[in-house]
Amino acid sequence: MSIRRVLIPVFAVVVFLLLWELLVWVNQWPNYKMASPTDIWPAFWKFKHLFLEYGWQTLWRTVVGLLLSIMFGTLIGLLMGMSKVIRDGLYPLLVGFNAIPKATVVPIIALMFVGQHNMNTILMAFMISFFPIAVSVSIGLSTLEPEYRDILRALGASKFTIFRKIALPKTLPEFFGALKVAVTLAFIGTNLVEIIEPHGRGLGHLFDSAKINSDYPLMFAVLIALAVMGIMLYYVVVVLEQIFAGWAERSPT
Q: What is the reported pLDDT for 1?
A: 47
**Residue 1 CB burial class (10 angstroms; 0-12, 13-18, ≥19):** exposed
d(CA 235, CA 226): 14
Fill in the amino acid letter for 76: I
d(CA 61, CA 75): 21
pTM of the full predicted structure?
Answer: 0.85
- Residue 250 DSSP symbol: -
Do the beta carbons of residue 176 and residue 245 sit within 8 Å? yes
Q: What is the reported pLDDT for 69?
A: 94
User: Which of these, 158, 160, 155, 186, lies nearest to 78 by C-alpha position?
Assistant: 160
Q: What is the reported pLDDT for 253?
A: 46
Class of domain 41-246: mainly alpha
N residues, the chain: 253
Q: What is the reported pLDDT for 225?
A: 93
User: Which of these, 120, 104, 123, lies nearest to 66 by C-alpha position?
Assistant: 123
d(CA 94, CA 223): 30
User: Which of these, 221, 212, 238, 170, lies nearest to 50 by C-alpha position?
Assistant: 221
**Residue 187 CB burial class (10 angstroms; 0-12, 13-18, ≥19):** buried
Which DSSP helix (H) or strand (E) runs through 18? helix 2-27
Q: What is the reported pLDDT for 81?
A: 80
- Return per-residue pLDDT of the chain as tens, 253 residues: 467 777 888 888 899 999 999 998 998 888 777 888 888 899 899 999 999 999 999 999 999 999 999 999 989 988 888 788 888 888 889 889 888 888 888 888 888 887 778 888 999 999 999 999 998 888 877 776 666 667 767 777 666 676 667 777 778 888 888 999 999 999 999 998 988 887 778 899 999 888 888 888 999 999 999 999 999 999 899 888 888 877 666 555 4
d(CA 18, CA 127): 37
Do the beta carbons of residue 178 and residue 135 sit within 8 Å? yes
Q: What is the reported pLDDT for 31?
A: 78
